[in-house]
Each structure stands twice: as structure tokens, then as C-alpha cells.
Structure 1
Amino acid sequence: MRKRLSLLSFFLIFITLSLISCNGKKTPEKMYLTDSLSYYAADRSTTIASIKFIDNGQRTVFTKLEPKDFDKLSKFVTENTYLWIKATFVVPNSLKNTDLGLNIPYLKTCSECYLNGNLLGSYGSFPPNEFSPGYVSNYYLLPQGLLNIYGENTIYLKIWTGGSGSISKNLYISEANYAQFHSTIITFFSSKIILIFTGAMFVAFIIYLLMFIGLKKVHRHQEHIVFALLNLYTISFLLIFFAADIPFLTSSVLSYLTFLKFGFFFGAYLTIYFANGFILSFLHIHQSGKTMIIRTSILALAAIPTLTAPSYKTLSYLVIPSIILSFCQFYFTIPKLIDHLKHKETRANAKKLLKGFSPVLFCIPVDFILRCGFVYRDLPYFTLYGWQLTVITFMSFLVKQFNDIYINNIKLSNQLTDFNTHLEKQVAERTKEISEKNLILTEGLHAVSNVQKNFLPPKKRTFRGWELAISYTPLVNEVSGDLYDYYYSGENLDGIGIFDVSGHGIPSGLMTILAKGIISQHFLNGITQSEPISQVLENINKTYIQEKVNVENYITGLLFRFSSFNKKDTCSVEVANAGHPHPYLYKADTKEIVEIQYEDPREQYGMIGLNDLPVSFPPVSFRMAPDDIILCFTDGLTDACNAQHEEFGKERLKEILKSYAFESAVNIRNKIKEALLEFTNNNPSNDDITFIVLKRNNSKDYIEELQDNYIPPLTNMGA
């Protein structure tokens, strides 16, 4: 892809060169005025009449303009003088009796043109309301009535340099139609097309800004807002190229000096700043506070002298040092990029970044050769073309990213639709049987309920170093699709699990019976074979798919595994999540509550029991000390609504946990149930509600208690 982008950049440059150099017809004769140019610096009050009078005097006041000074016109003037440039020519026989035009490919900053003392027109505005016309070609029609067909003609250019004046070495006179067409082509590629590019960047800014707002809860999307701001400040930097096309810029409200400082130069510094920020964000590199301070300080050191410059001349002296200082930002990104290219796990993303920036990286040396090498300076800035291709490239990355998401969502939606259709068909087929055999099925409900009650372990239990309290509330006739279990050996708690089977009633209730045995078996096998908890959950998924045959119920769930206690009475915890609501961890030492989830949510996906769908249950590990608490729950708890259709929600749940964290697990459970009952005010629930409160206790206290009052160990409730 990088090769194709480079070829596309080369193609655009080739097309631009071709269109600028020809118009599809035989090129008419050109009279280049380069060798006849001379200059004279005069007071701002000097008029064309005064210039003609001075020029016609006995002493010569105009000095020949050497080619090496074409880009240094400002050195001939002061803040209070204008530069007058004179060119003389004689109309050749081949161009007599035809309309002529003067084409100046570029002239900075603003100018007036006179032919034999007569004003032909102007580009830009002179002080006190000075403003540049932008990067446009200056074209003037030379009327037949003002030309001296058989004698010498004189062109005067009155120029205000604005601290950085320059003029093209290729100004010429030719047939009017050709000169005007050539001027239009140059203006298009140097100015008008930049306006189009800016429109595209504004669209990119809006899209990426909306993406950042829409995905603000998803991790590692910081590059969206950074790329949005990068486009915004690039627009500010590019305004100077088409300033004449924006009315409010050329008004007297905004001075040209202010526009240069805050629009062009500050926009350039911010573009460099956010380009580096985008690189770091794209590579998922977290910036430390120290790095942010240094980078922001570099930006300030470059910007403050520029923004406070009192004059154009001072500004021209500050530009190069400030730009060099701004490029020091790359000290924080280029080494990081190289490091990412060296490592296999980060190389793909680094290469993707290089592919995105390859057009602008290709065009920068092209501009350097053409301009700094003085090959042909009338050409547009190809780096701007390369930057636009870079914007398009990263936009294409965005489109591909969301196209993949869309396709996956469609696939999942179709599968879920098929699942629901199949389930609805099964329910419809059973409806008649259910109505005819209501009594038998009612007895069946009680039977299933009794089976569930018998295979579910007690809702309150203590282990060495642990206190466990469970709330379990079925939705329909005491038959639930929720499942909880805990696994232990003697006095030691090895793990807990909480699962939610899709659907309600008998189908989901029966699936909990099937799932419980599968989960228990694989949990114990995982301990025996030292399998990671993520592998245990994946094995459960495979076995459940095989055992449930044609039943379409799927399961979400959490599976925890605990280690033994160390000398400091802490233990390690491993948890894997299969599409279940994230549990909470209360840390007693900081009195803070955190959601237990994998660092990159995009790498955790899938549920148990959906055939042919990929799953990834990466493990999350942490440590627990005495008084730390785990709270896990099914979505029936947080989704429970009151009469106003307001949800109980996660924030309310966290507030209760934090407020009563010092109490026992049983009391915390009871406080949550009381708060839920008060909130819903007996409003009917739409789902089963199950939650587990697991609190760490002092493991040594438990040992002492057993010595005083020994209780024989129970068998594993999950077996």
C-alpha cells in the first residue's frame, strides 16, 4: 500500500507539472522580463507620476535586480518604504496586433502594476489595511491602446513586501489567452486546490471529532481527537494559500500581521505539535506528565516570540529558529516509532502509521529539491498534496475499521436473528402443548425449581480468609436462568462462578443444570492440569456447544480462581469474562472501587455456546488483601427499573458497596437488596437477579476459630 501511495503522489506531481507547462496547443512566443528588471525603494507617499519623473531624470535611480535577490526583496526596503520594480520591453513583430498579457507566477506580498504610467490592476491590499492575495499567479491584460507598438514600453510594479517579499524569475509577456490560461492553471494548483483540500480536512475534523465523542468510553481511541485537532490546525496553517477567497480575512477587522502570526505560523507550530501527538496516540504510547510538559514548553517557546513580534521584519527573523525548535517535537516520536518497528508485536501498527504518512514523506524531499535546490520555484507545494493523501489514507483506515465492525455486527445480527427465529418457532410449537398440559407442566416447573434449589450451594458460607454471601432471585415461578457456584477443597476457597443463560423459564433453567456440571468439571480439571483460567473458560465453551445439541441458549459469565495466602495474608486472583457485566473490586487500603476488566476491551469478546463465533477470554489478574471485596452480578440487578423506567444502575450499586464496605458480606448483600427493593417499590422485574458479595477476612483468625470449634469439611459444592 505504501508503494501505491508513493506512486499516486508521483502521479499527482507529474499531472501538475504537465498542466502547468502546457495547455494542449502550440505554445506562443514568450518575452521573459527577468534580465530587464531593476528596482528602486521609495517612500510610501511616492506616486507613479513621481516615479516616472524620477526615472526620466538625468541620473539613474533604478538598480539592476540580480537573480539571486528575487527571493530577498525585503532587504531593499524598510518598514516605511515600497519597492518599485521596473521592466522594459519592445513588442516583437510576432506579437504585434494581438492582445498581450503579463503573467507573474508568484509575487509576494501585494502589488500594483502600471503600463507606461497607467494602472492595470492590483493584487492584495496596501497598508494600512494590508493583506496578501494568497499564493496566486498575477495576470494583467496589456491593452492595445496603452502599448507603444513600435517603441519601448515600461512596466512598473509597486510592491509591499511585508517582511518576506519575492518575485518569480519566470515572469513573461505573451498572447493574452495563453498568459491568462497559464496563470489560471498556476493559481489552481497553488491556491484553489488547497481550498478543496481544506474542505476535505474540515470533513475529516468533524468525522474524527464525532468518532471521539461517540467512542469516548472505549479505550485507545485518543488518536481520534488528536487527528481531528491536527486537521483543524492544518486548516489554520493553509488559509494563507487562498486568503483572497475568504471575505472576512481580507476585512479591516483583522490585520495581516495578526493573521500571519496566529493563522499561518501558530497554525504551523500546532500542526507539528499535534502530528507528533497523533503518532504517539496511534502507536498507543502513553505520554508521561514530564513528556507533556516538555512538548508543551517547546510549543510555547516557539509560539510566544512569534505571537508577540511587533513587526513583519522581526517576524521574519524569528520564523526559522521557531520552526527548528518546533521540529524538536520529533525527538519524542521518531525513536518510539523505530522501537515499535523493531518489535514483532507492535511492528504491524507502526508500519500502518508509516503507510499513512508515506505520501507526505515522499513529497517533502521533492519540494526540498525543487525549492531549496532552486530547480523551479514557481511550482506549488507538493507537500500539501502529500498531506491531503495522508488525510485520505487515515480516513480509509477509519472506513475499513468500521466496515469490519459493520460486517461483524451484520454477521452476529443474522446469527442472533436465526437464533431468535428458531427459538420462537420452538416456543410456538410448545405453546399448544403447554396450554393442554398446564397441570403437568406446572408440576414440571416445581420439579425444575426443586432441582435448581438442590444443586445450587448455600447462599451464605465462610472459608479460610473469605466470607461469601449470595442473593438469588428467579424471575419466573422460582425457575431461573442465572447460575452461581463456588469451588473449594476443605476450608480453602478455590474459586467462584456466576453465569446468566439467555432466555427465561424452563429452557434456560434446564440449561443451567447442564452448564453447572460442565463448568464444575472443567474448573477442577483446570486446577489439576494447571490451565490458565482463560483456557478453562474456552474449554467450557467447547463442551457446552457439543452437549447442548440443537438448543440455542447462550451463556455469559465470570469465572474466578484464587491462590493460597502468602505470609502477608494476600492472595492472587485470576478471572476470565465471557461477555458478562464487569465485576467490581473494592480496595480497602485506598477505599476505591474499580471495574475488573481486561486492559484492551477490543481483545475480549464472545460468549459461551454460540457455535462458529470466535471467542477470546483473556485473563485479568490482581491481588486481594484482608477487607478487599469482590462484587459480581447479573445484568438483572443493574437493569432493574422503577415505575418511572429509571434503572437501578451501576453508580448506585457502587455507592452502596463503598458506604458499607466495613460491614460483613452478609450485611452488604442485605443493604443492596434493601436499596433495590426501595428503588423499584415492588415494580415487576424483567429478569432474574443474582449477585455475589465475596469479602476477604483474616485467614489466621479462621484457623484459630476452627481449632476452637472444628467443623468437618464439606464436599465440593461445584462437583
Structure 2
Amino acid sequence: MDPFSLFKNTTDFLLFEPDQVIFHEGQIGDEMFLILEGELQISVEGHPLDLLSAGNIVGEMALIDEGARSATGTAVSHCKLLPINRTRFAKLVKQHPEFALHVMSIMSNRLRRLIEVEAKRQRLEEEMKIGRDIQLSLLPKQVPTAPGWAFAAYYQAARQVGGDLYDFIQSPHDPYRLNLVIADVTGKGVPAALFMASVRSVIRAISLNDRPPADTLHRTNRFIVQDVGSLLFTSAFYASLQTDTGQLSYANAGHEWPLWWRQQTQTVTQLKVPGMLLGAFDEIHPMQQEVTVAPDDVLVFFTDGVTEAHNAEKAMFDDERLQQTLAKIAHLSASDIVDGIVTAVSNFTANTPQSDDLTLIVVKRTK
């Protein structure tokens, strides 16, 4: 039926300007609206849910149960709406039964869409759970121990599963060589988790031969491109630490630069070294650099979930805040430094939902 034909001579319609709220979520209502002209957006908790145009009805649930509205309705364009309360609705149904069928048809279609959306949401939640389980299974169960050194790590998953990874790989040939890796896949869900599992396996296999960090990343990239064949990429920072001398050799594949607190100079330095993402190009040739970590020095490896954590004003925690935080707490133990950074990020973001995984490795030379 054409609902407009029933209201040709109606003059008690309401006019709304673009962006004007027609009703609020949680507001008690006792009428629905027929959209005569314009478009209206329905949103729940600030998230757009549906866009309705002329001929649609909105707010029918409040008409039926006179309860709180389950969503917010906002005019997208200039809108002309006809309010229909219970009395008017009963009269319309009595005089024009086809109008009731029109309303039931709209409600039926919406219910069907909601069922489809809920089914999709449940599938996504299940996929996220699988991805998160895979991701957690890849992380070390405990941090390593070495005389004169302290290690700590932290991982906090976001609601959407990302592809963060950290690992400690002890050399099978040199008891003083410990390899550290931190990585972040460009993707979400099960595909990212499976890709990261492949990357981890490749890096671990290559590390068994005690190859230099740059060569390890070079060979990892070659294997990913030739054998894994994924459309995903990953950043990675790989370092080899000699716990007997404090020598740290490292190479980068498009990852955030770790921080180095130097106790002697009381300064924070970024371990800047260029490098391309793993899997993005057929061949990469990472540069390798070396530093010597002195007693009471601190190394902080992290993913962009730390520096790109944002607050309600969309400001990011950023590298500068991280460096300032480290400078204030570098005298603490490795585990307390991790806690201090996590607390600083949490205080900065306040109640803003976490949008990315947050991963940290802290290494401190204690003597």
C-alpha cells in the first residue's frame, strides 16, 4: 500500500532540520513516526544502525509498549514526520487494515535484519575468540632469567584481535645469547593470528643457527614471500643480547624504535634503524647496528598499541610521552617499569576503549 495516500490532507506533521535529534535512546515514548519526507538515521550508543527514508516508520516499539526507546533517531536531511500515537494508530487500523499490514511488514523486515546482524556478530565473536586463543598460545609462558639481568613483558589484547607477538629465544649454542623479537601484523582476527603463528615459527627456526639479526629478518622475509604467500604484512624488531658482555645487536623490519635508557647520561635514546615490513617486498636488506648496554640501563620494546593509544579528544599517547614516562621510572625494577608504563597509558586514555593490542618488553641490566 501507499501510506502517503492516507495522509494527503494531514497538517499536523512535524518538521526537523538536518542533525536535529527526534528522540533519544532511553527516552520514554508513546508514539511512532511515519517519515513523509527526508532521511533519518537510527543509532545505538552512538553507533549508526540504520538509515530510513520516506515511507518508513520509526519508534514503533515505544508505541506498542510505551517503554524507553531503544535507539536515537536523528534527521539526516530536512525531514517531515507524522506522529502517530496509540489512539490514532487504533483508528487507522480500524479504518484501513492494510496500514496494519504495512507496519507489520516493516517490523518483520527489521526483525529479519536484526537476526542476520546478530548471527554475523556471533560468528565474528567466535572468530575473535579463536584468534585470541591462537595469539595467546604463541606468547612465552614466562620470561627468561640471566645473572645480572631482569626481564618483564606485558600483553593486553584489544577487543578486536590483532597480531602482536613477543618472544624470547635462547640460543642452543651460546648460553649467553638471548634473542628477543617483537612484532605486529597488519590485520585482525583469525587470519592475522595464523599469519603471526607462521612468522613466529619461521623466526624461531632461523634463530636456531645463531644468524645475525639482519640476516634473520632477511631470511624470514624471503620465506614469507615464497612459502607463506599471505596478503598480510608484519613489522618486527629482532635483537640479540649477549648477557655476558651487554652487547646488543639489532635489526628492524618497519617496527617502532625501542627505547634505551642510558643511566650514565640520564637520557632516553631511540634505537633508530631503518627497515621494510616483512612480506611487503620480495627482497629486503635490513641494516644492523650494535650498542653496549651498561649496568642500570633499560631497554623498552613496544608495539604501536602503546604510542597510538588515544584519549577521548583523539590525542595519542605518542613517543614523547613514552620517553618521558621511562625517564621518570627507569630506576625501578623491570616489572615495575612495565607496570608504570601501562598505568601511564591507562591514565592518559581514561575510559576510552582500547583499539589495539598493547605489548611491551622491558630489559634491565642490574649489574
TM-score, with normalisation over the residues of structure 1?
0.33
CA RMSD of aligned residues (A): 2.3
In structure 2, the CA distance between the partners of 1:680 and 1:607, relative to structure 1 (3 Å rule), is same
Quick one: which of 356, 363, 367 aligns to 1:694?
Answer: 363
Say yes or no: does 1:474 pair with 2:157: yes
Say yes or no: does 1:652 pair with 2:321: yes
**Larger strand proportion, structure 1 or 2?**
2
Equivalent residue number for residue 152 of structure 1 = none
Q: CA deviation at 1:593?
A: 1.1
**In 1, Cα distance between the equivalents of 2:166 and 2:255?**
13
Equivalent residue number for residue 137 of structure 2 = 454
**In 2, Cα distance between the equivalents of 1:629 and 1:436?**
48
Secondary structure at the residue paired with 1:534? helix
The one of the two structures with greater contact order (alpha-carbon pairs below 8 A, sep at least 6) is 2
Q: CA deviation at 1:543?
A: 0.8
Secondary structure at the residue paired with 1:462? coil
Quick one: which of 544, 554, 567 aligns to 2:233?
Answer: 554
Equivalence map 1:113-512=2 (5 Å): 439=122, 442-458=125-141, 460-477=143-160, 479-488=161-170, 492=176, 494-512=178-196
Equivalent residue number for residue 592 of structure 1 = 267
Q: Aligned partner of 1:606: which letter?
A: M
Q: Deviation digits for residues 482-522 of structure 1, max 9, x if unmatched?
A: 11101125874511100010022222122111111111111
Equivalent residue number for residue 242 of structure 2 = 563
Equivalent residue number for residue 607 of structure 1 = 277
Quick one: which of 206, 211, 219 aligns to 1:522?
Answer: 206
User: Is the contact made by 2:178 and 2:241 (CA closer than 8 Å) also made in structure 1?
Assistant: yes
Secondary structure at the residue paired with 1:682? coil
Equivalent residue number for residue 72 of structure 2 = none
Equivalent residue number for residue 533 of structure 1 = 213
**In 2, Cα distance between the equivalents of 1:595 and 1:518?**
27
Q: CA deviation at 1:605?
A: 3.7
Q: Deviation digits for residues 321-348 of structure 1, max 9, x if unmatched?
A: xxxxxxxxxxxxxxxxxxxxxxxxxxxx
**In 2, Cα distance between the equivalents of 1:553 and 1:459?**
28
Secondary structure at the residue paired with 2:145? strand
Q: Aligned partner of 2:156: which letter?
A: T
User: Is the contact made by 1:559 and 1:577 (CA closer than 8 Å) also made in structure 2?
Assistant: yes
User: Is the contact made by 1:464 and 1:492 (CA closer than 8 Å) also made in structure 2?
Assistant: no
**Larger helix proportion, structure 1 or 2?**
1
Q: CA deviation at 1:454?
A: 2.4
**In 2, Cα distance between the equivalents of 1:564 and 1:468?**
12
In structure 2, the CA distance between the partners of 1:507 and 1:476, relative to structure 1 (3 Å rule), is farther
**In 1, Cα distance between the equivalents of 2:141 and 2:335?**
13
**In 1, Cα distance between the equivalents of 2:163 and 2:140?**
16
Q: Deviation digits for residues 642-689 of structure 1, max 9, x if unmatched?
A: 111111111111111111111101000001111111100021233222
**In 2, Cα distance between the equivalents of 1:441 and 1:683?**
22
Say yes or no: does 1:577 pair with 2:252: yes
**In 2, Cα distance between the equivalents of 1:438 and 1:685?**
19
Q: Aligned partner of 1:607: which letter?
A: L
In structure 2, the CA distance between the partners of 1:585 and 1:686, relative to structure 1 (3 Å rule), is same
Q: Which has the larger radius of gyration?
A: 1
Secondary structure at the residue paired with 1:535? helix
**In 1, Cα distance between the equivalents of 2:348 and 2:123?**
37
TM-score, with normalisation over the residues of structure 2?
0.63
Say yes or no: does 1:663 pair with 2:332: yes
In structure 2, the CA distance between the partners of 1:591 and 1:561, relative to structure 1 (3 Å rule), is same
**In 1, Cα distance between the equivalents of 2:117 and 2:197?**
21
**In 2, Cα distance between the equivalents of 1:451 and 1:664?**
30
**In 2, Cα distance between the equivalents of 1:465 and 1:480?**
34
Secondary structure at the residue paired with 2:208? helix
Any stretches of 5+ residues in structure 1 without a counterpart?
1-432, 599-603, 699-719
**In 2, Cα distance between the equivalents of 1:564 and 1:665?**
16
Q: Deviation digits for residues 458-483 of structure 1, max 9, x if unmatched?
A: 36443233211112122235x33111
Equivalent residue number for residue 352 of structure 2 = 683
Q: Deviation digits for residues 37-68 of structure 1, max 9, x if unmatched?
A: xxxxxxxxxxxxxxxxxxxxxxxxxxxxxxxx
Q: Deviation digits for residues 398-451 of structure 1, max 9, x if unmatched?
A: xxxxxxxxxxxxxxxxxxxxxxxxxxxxxxxxxxx9975765664443333223
- How many residues align structurally? 250
Secondary structure at the residue paired with 1:616? coil
User: Is the contact made by 1:640 and 1:647 (CA closer than 8 Å) also made in structure 2?
Assistant: yes
Equivalent residue number for residue 84 of structure 2 = none
Say yes or no: does 1:620 pair with 2:289: yes
**In 1, Cα distance between the equivalents of 2:284 and 2:254?**
10
User: Is the contact made by 2:260 and 2:298 (CA closer than 8 Å) also made in structure 1?
Assistant: yes
% identity of equivalent residues: 31
Q: Aligned partner of 1:583: which letter?
A: P
Q: Aligned partner of 2:213: which letter?
A: I
**In 2, Cα distance between the equivalents of 1:654 and 1:559?**
21
User: Is the contact made by 2:134 and 2:193 (CA closer than 8 Å) also made in structure 1?
Assistant: no
Equivalent residue number for residue 40 of structure 2 = none
Q: Aligned partner of 2:305: which letter?
A: G
In structure 2, the CA distance between the partners of 1:503 and 1:586, relative to structure 1 (3 Å rule), is same
Q: Aligned partner of 1:633: which letter?
A: F
User: Is the contact made by 1:597 and 1:620 (CA closer than 8 Å) also made in structure 2?
Assistant: no
Q: Aligned partner of 1:543: which letter?
A: F
